[in-house]
Chain A
Amino acid sequence: MHPDIESERHSPSFNVEELTNILDGDAQNTALRRKVESIIHGEPELSLKDNYFMTQNERYEAAVKKKFHILMLAHRLGWSEGSRELQYASRSVSGDLSFGIHQIFQKTIRSLGSEEQIAKWDPLCSKFQILGTYAQTEMGHGTYLQGLETEATYDAATQEFVVHSPTMTAIKWWPGDLGRSATHALVQAQLICSGARQGMHAFIVPIRSLDDHSPLPGITIGDIGPKMDFEHTDNGFLKLDHVRIPRENMLNRFAKVLPDGAYVKLGVPQTNYLSMVVVRVEVLLDEVIPLLQKACIIAIRYSVIRRHDPEAKVLDYQTQQQKLLPPLAMAYAFHFVGNHLLEFFRSSYSLILNRDFTLLPELHALSAGLKAMLSDLCTQAVEQCRRACGGHGYSKLSGLPSLLTRVTASCTYEGENTVLYLQTARFLIKSYLNTQKSPGSASKGSLPQSVAYLTAPDLARCPAQTAADFLRPELYTAAWAHVAVRLIKDSVHHLQTLRQAGADEHDAWNQTTVIHIQATKAHLHYVTVKIFTEALEKLESQPAIQQVLRRLCDLYALHGILTNAGDFLHDGFLSGAQIDMARKAYLDLLRLIRKDAILLTDAFDFTDQCLNSALGCYDGHAYERLFQWAQRSPTNTEGNPAYEKYIRPLLQGQRARL
């Protein structure tokens, strides 16, 4: 153990193990997770250590192999589908597995398929008799579902759908597992029956032969080429040339086409969004929040063994604390936000499947907005962690470039963030307008929980008188509520003013989108602060942990206030003097959290194998690892053909001329 990291662990102010248990849910989960990790790390086939040295082709094949290996392990050890064990297994290989979209394929069938369809397809998926992909995005069309061009035209004569890509821009583009793996695609297409267009519906389309894996007739298919990351995934393209599928292949829990071509609707159109909600929650829990946690671990551990001058560890510099501790606070805040969202999702999911849609608008708005904000902020924070490691953060061996390139993808997949913010904005405006209706109005209902604060009493001025006042959760929560309400009101006002001046409804919306997004972000900050604060109230029996997490919560809230100081000063809610107080409180927090920083990162409890970082290992021996790992690089083991071919002639040619 490096003495500089050992000294950080000497006198803990709280019990790290207990905090780990809280993060895992309870001590049993921690024990189970560690058991699974030790099994996974004992399998050389599942090691990540060569990832940084592989080509795209090698990464893809390795991911297929790993998935295969894990499935065999699961089979042998009785880890059932969707079990905690499998979740932990995936976590311990950092999700570096193929067929992630196969699971989305399967889940979508479960949520959009009828009972008969589920009975037919689900076992095939579970046994990997077929491999699925979810083909929604097209080359020319992304988040906007109605804009998709792919058509499924019903032919009553044969009782088949003809699925077709009418243009270049209609080619399905980006679906994972599509390029080289999938045998079936769940294709989102415009349904045309009895001459009428009925909007987007989901169809199961066989795309590759189950005998030899070759593309089926009418199918043009392949990988879309090198990307920033996700090299283990074969994101693909799919061009359909009048491909015929049986009528039964349209998922029909919420709508169906009768043999004669009559269209029957069984649910509201929102149901199509349900699978997107599921995926967004999972994206946050698997592909966003843990990546920030890992980046914090690596950067903070490295910052206590790196010295800029012999006197001080890099983490002792105020500027380094400013770079790394707000991301650490976010990593904790978002853990609790993710948990909250998951619980909300679970409690509303069963209702929705039973066609009770009361909670869907809020669930949709909250999951869309939080996916956007958390992926944005985590991406920025991971990049900040990477750059805080100086030059070594640029080496892939640090693990940080891969974390960044992976987390940043989440800003554009599963709904482009700007579009998602605006979806939440529409919900906020609707909720706000609802509060403005006269008390006896028939449509005036109680507000959903996450926007209930829109009607709560509000202060015009912040009562803080000292820096210490800014460490009161009710004070900063109220401050965020105030700003969110003001901005939502303001954005509605802007919208209405334009409308009254004669602007068309849609132009007025477009002309106010920048301010709607600003308001939505404030709302989401408020939601985050509130969730974090409430989660901490439940930790009263563990005061030491509560205290250290409270500091992080304070830091998260104050960092947000100071970054957006203009919004708080704007209507005089905070005075200039109060901003200075908040800044003082913030700077003091940096110093306090600094002392616990290593332990707070230890509590996330990621193994060295899973971090796969030469800089961020638990024992702090970063330099030794960096040197050892570099020697394994193919550039050092495979000789230098460029020397013989070019460098030597160049050098000798020059010398002859001198």
Chain B
Amino acid sequence: MNQDLQKERAGASFNPELLTNVLDGSPENTRRRREIENLILKDPDFQHENLNFLSRSQRYEVAVKKSATMVEKMRKFGIADPDEILWFKKLHLVNFVEPVGLNYSMFIPTLLNQGTTAQQEKWLHSSKGLEIIGTYAQTEMGHVGKTSNHAIVLAQLITQGKCYGLHAFIVPIRELGTHKPLPGITVGDIGPKFGYDEMDNGYLKMDSYRIPRENMLMKHAQVKPDGTYVKPLSNKLTYGTMVFIRAVLVGESARCLSKACTIAIRYSAVRHQSEIKPGEPEPQILDYQTQQYKLFPLLATAYAFQFVGAYMKETYHRINEDIGHGDLSELPELHALTAGLKAFTSWTTNTAIEACRMACGGHGYSHCSGLPNIYVNFTPTCTFEGENTVMMLQTARFLMKSYDQVHSGKLVCGMVSYLNDLPSQRIQPQQVAVWPTVVDINSPDSLTEAYKLRAARLVEIAAKNLQTEVIHRKSKEVAWNLTSIDLVRASEAHCHYVAVKLFTEKVLQIQEKSIQAVLRRLCLLYSLYGISQNAGDFLQGSIMTESQITQVNERIKELLTAIRPDAVALVDAFDFQDVTLGSVLGRYDGNVYENLFEWAKKSPLNKTEVHESYKHLKSLQSKL
């Protein structure tokens, strides 16, 4: 073990195992997660070459092999619970993507949500057994490259001459047995991408291709044999799959950011550079204020998102039960919240992973750091399953609706209930800027209050600007477009408030004093950093004074110093196995440099002592 890391671990103020239990939900969950992870780590069938040194088609092949192995093993080990499937899958993937993964994340949930019981029986039985390798082809150039033999195709339904909008259909695309495209189907891989090398994202062109009526998923909407269209009871239900996916994606943001922080913080404790005082040995770069300022707010954000993700999952399951009982009342808020939080967390994480990578200096740019892979495989989260700006505007639509509701005298509930307290509702409409300045910057509750005021203010500004535009322009759509920047700002402020609120509430639930203390510091840092970064909003809204902002900036620096001794333990608590991190820089034992050298020697360019392109140089020299 590297001595620096050893010292860091010995100096921590808390036992990381206890914090790991908090993140897993319980000690029992931690135990079971590790049990499953060890099944894979100890299984020779999952061992393979380092994917970094393979070509794209080799990576695809390794990934297909692993996916196939995984299906066998999950059955063998009796892993069926969705959380456990996720643990299992995440470990064997090691920052890479599996080609059969969409089957689990999209195809099956879509069938569950939108298929009739008979359809579920017919397709799910074989799909879970993977006979039908399905792909959800919503994006028109979707995920059908080379693996799938069936696709769920979202298409405009036209019956009796009328278009009824998007519906889902199961379309066989390759022949079972030969895997050749069926007649009328043009299918292929869309070519190289930023990441997802292991995935054969594909294109699918259908030429007047016929499928039986039963292949339309008809749990909600139906087409009768004579072509009569039967409307679904509520179109909200068709969003079920998307809501589920978004909840998972928020958890994925937390996970990827936690990984990136683990790598960058461990490496910053191992790396020594420059000097703080002349003549003294080079300090750990984690001792530089600039490095702490880059990384600790991100660490705090990772914890915040872990708790947001856990909350989303609980809420989804709770509301899903209600939906089962026919109660759809919470679905609009859930839909609005998952959209915004998916965008908010993935945008933040996207920037934060890059910040972690750059905090590792030049070595972050090498694939040995593992960070480029985490980034390129995470970043599509910002565009898939709903492009983030579109997601933010969905949340905004809900916020505007809630605002109007309050304005017309009805109370709203849930996360937007703060709109009930808008001063414009109580006193005079134009006095948006009058807020009580009572923020205690050492109290997470008080800071939550400040975020609430900011959200309320920005929602109100967006709502008023929207009204003004509506008055000045004819169409609602034009007005909406001309206010959309304000609307996105309002949604972001709302999501930020939700994240601060959930983090604050979580800290209060923690019993163990040492854990509560360290999480409280992170919670404060998360909240204060957000204020510092958005000082304009808090100042302009008179939510905080100039001297408070100065205090916030000072307090942030104190917190950096306070968190510094616990930084390594805080990332240890995420409990990633080295193989999951896939990083030489982020190794648990901190033996970075010797392994960096070993890693580099495996480069494909080093296969021969003299590279074959030497011939070009020779011929150049002879001709000049």
Contacts and interface: CB of A to CB of B under 8 A. Distances in A.
A658 B55 contact: no
A116 interface: no
Interface stretch (A2-10, A30-38, A50-58, A441-449): A50-58
B613 A60 contact: yes
A459 interface: no
B44 to A, nearest CB: 17
A360 interface: no
Interface stretch (A156-164, A278-286, A637-645): A637-645
Contacts of A322: 485
A630 interface: yes
A228 B146 contact: no
Contact of B129 (A510, A570, A627, A658): A658
Contact of A225 (B368, B379, B387, B485): B368
Contact of B56 (A68, A147, A174, A635): A635
Interface stretch (A411-419, A467-475, A522-530): A411-419
A214 B56 contact: no
Given A322-B485, A412-B358, A658-B126, A391 B383 contact: yes
Interface in B528-555: 532, 534-542, 546, 549, 553
Nearest to A66: B616
A102 to B, nearest CB: 11
A223 B602 CA distance: 9
B115 interface: no
B614 to A, nearest CB: 5
Contacts of A540: none
Contacts of A649: 68
B365 interface: yes
A631 B205 CA distance: 13
A212 B610 contact: yes
Given A569-B535, A635-B191, A647-B64, A408 B362 contact: no
Interface band, chain B: 35 or more
B366 interface: yes
Contacts of A504: 277
Interface in A605-658: 626-627, 629-636, 638, 640-643, 645-652, 654-655, 657-658
A179 interface: yes
A131 interface: yes
Nearest to A237: B600
A392 B539 CA distance: 39
Contact of B549 (A141, A418, A566, A655): A566
B621 interface: yes
B3 to A, nearest CB: 14
A396 B191 contact: yes
A222 B485 contact: no
Contacts of A631: 188
A627 B203 CA distance: 9
B367 interface: yes
B135 to A, nearest CB: 13
A222 B601 contact: yes
A635 B188 CA distance: 8
A64 B617 contact: yes
A570 B549 contact: yes
Nearest to A209: B610
Nearest to A577: B540
B236 to A, nearest CB: 21
A543 interface: no
B290 A513 contact: yes
A319 B488 CA distance: 8
A510 B382 CA distance: 36
Of B191, B287, B289, most A-chain CB atoms within 10 Å:
B191
B420 interface: no
Interface string A153-180: 0000000000000001101011000011
A215 interface: yes
Contact of B278 (A320, A506, A652): A506
A409 interface: yes
Contacts of B194: 394-396, 401
Contacts of B616: 61, 64-65, 68
Interface string B187-211: 0111111111000100100000000
A392 B191 CA distance: 11
A390 B620 CA distance: 44
B57 A60 contact: no
A429 interface: no
A393 interface: yes
A226 B539 contact: no
Contacts of A643: 146, 179
Contact of B365 (A227, A395, A509, A587): A227
A225 B600 contact: yes
A139 interface: yes
Interface in B314-341: none
B596 interface: yes
Nearest to A380: B351
B354 interface: yes
B145 interface: yes
A590 to B, nearest CB: 8
B481 interface: yes
A409 B364 CA distance: 10
Contacts of B428: none
B147 A647 contact: yes
B605 A56 contact: yes
Nearest to B60: A642
Nearest to A514: B293
A169 B282 CA distance: 13
Contacts of B546: 569-572
B597 A237 contact: yes
A391 B139 contact: yes
A140 interface: yes
B164 interface: no
Nearest to A229: B365
Contacts of B294: 418
Contact of B539 (A53, A569, A642, A655): A569
A128 interface: yes
B606 interface: yes
A264 interface: no
B613 A180 contact: yes
Interface in B353-398: 354, 358, 361-362, 364-368, 372, 376, 379-380, 382-384, 387-389, 393
Contact of B188 (A127, A142, A312, A630): A630
Contact of A71 (B65, B149, B620): B620
Contact of A142 (B362, B481, B541): B362
Contacts of A312: 481
A201 B189 CA distance: 53
B463 to A, nearest CB: 16
A218 interface: no
B293 A226 contact: no
Contacts of A387: 350, 379, 382-383, 388
Given A147-B282, A651-B131, A214 B610 contact: yes
Given A213-B610, A513-B290, A647-B64, A225 B52 contact: yes
B271 interface: yes
A650 B130 contact: yes
A626 B188 CA distance: 13
A226 B541 CA distance: 49
A317 interface: yes
8 contacts: A168-B593, A227-B372, A318-B485, A413-B362, A566-B549, A633-B191, A645-B65, A654-B129
Counting from the closest, the 10 A-B pairs by CB-CB distance are A566-B535, A565-B536, A223-B605, A633-B191, A401-B194, A225-B603, A635-B189, A144-B274, A180-B611, A642-B64
Interface of A: 52-53, 55-57, 60-61, 64-65, 68, 71-72, 75, 127-129, 131, 137, 139-144, 146-147, 168-169, 171, 173-174, 179-181, 212-215, 222-228, 234, 237, 311-312, 316-320, 322-323, 379, 383, 387, 390-397, 401, 405, 408-409, 411-413, 416-419, 422, 504, 506-507, 509-515, 517, 562, 564-572, 576, 579, 587, 626-627, 629-636, 638, 640-643, 645-652, 654-655, 657-658
